[in-house]
Amino acid sequence: MLGDSLSAAYNMELDAGWVHLLSQRIAPQHQVINASISGDTSAGGLARLPDALGRYKPDIVILELGANDGLRGLSLQQLQQNLAEMIELSQSSGAEVLLAAMQLPPNYGPFYTNRFHQIYRDLEASHQVALVPFLLDKVGGVTELIQADGLHPNEKAQPIILENVWHPLQPLLRAD
């Protein structure tokens, strides 16, 4: 699992996060390594990925990055390039890839937000990876599921996020 604060259990116990809940669900047949770092961007993930691939030799890589790139208004072309390179590195190592898509709040404007979200669908098609259409489906915008900062999901949201990931992940686990 390579992600940002959404997968690093930001502002809560690690045991409450969706990645830990996933590890409980699939143990003992599978082990989950959470290499997520709060605040990480796609460039940071790309820099860390080769070491993680060499160290853990994963069968499946879940990529959940891009939200911080988008929220900071970084280059969408660079985001797409970084994600594509992470997918290619993962696939070259023999791992299946599950890409978790994000969406941005509408205040970034329709051009930027639509293009941002389209990046994930384009990568799904061009690299033939599994896709979580929106990691925060049924969570984003639901006040009682979001922390006081207005951005990060709270503990009540974590089982919902797990279910969002679970459906596209299951076929990869069976193939493994």
Whole-angstrom Cα distance, residue 74 to residue 168? 28
Is-catalytic flag, 149? Answer: yes
pLDDT of 37 reads: 98
Question: Among candidates 47, 150, 67, which has minimal Cα distance to 116?
Answer: 67
Whole-angstrom Cα distance, residue 64 to residue 160? 16
Q: What is the mean pLDDT of residues 102-114?
A: 93
Is-catalytic flag, 7? Answer: no
Q: For the chain, what's the residue count?
A: 176
Q: What is the mean pLDDT of residues 99-112?
A: 94
pLDDT digits (tens, 9 = 90+) for 19-64: 999 999 999 999 999 999 999 999 999 999 999 999 999 999 999 9
Q: Is the pLDDT of residue 99 over 90?
A: yes
Q: What is the mean pLDDT of residues 65-80?
A: 97
Is-catalytic flag, 40? Answer: no
Whole-angstrom Cα distance, residue 116 to residue 12? 28
pLDDT digits (tens, 9 = 90+) for 5-22: 999 999 999 999 999 999
Cross-strand bridge partners of residue 116: none
Please tell me whether the overall predicted TM-score, pTM, comes out greater than 0.85 for this model.
Answer: yes
Marked catalytic residue, from 30, 90, 149, 176: 149
Marked catalytic residue, from 5, 7, 36, 90: 5
Q: For 97-135, give one letter per residue: b (16+ CB within 10 A) or e.
A: bbbbbbbbeeeeeeeebebbbebbeebbeebebbbbbbb
State the average pLDDT for the chain. 97
pLDDT of 174 reads: 87
Marked catalytic residue, from 42, 90, 117, 152: 152
Q: Is the pLDDT of residue 176 over 70?
A: no
Q: Is the pLDDT of residue 175 over 80?
A: no
pLDDT of 139 reads: 98
SS3 call for 99 = strand
pLDDT of 104 reads: 93
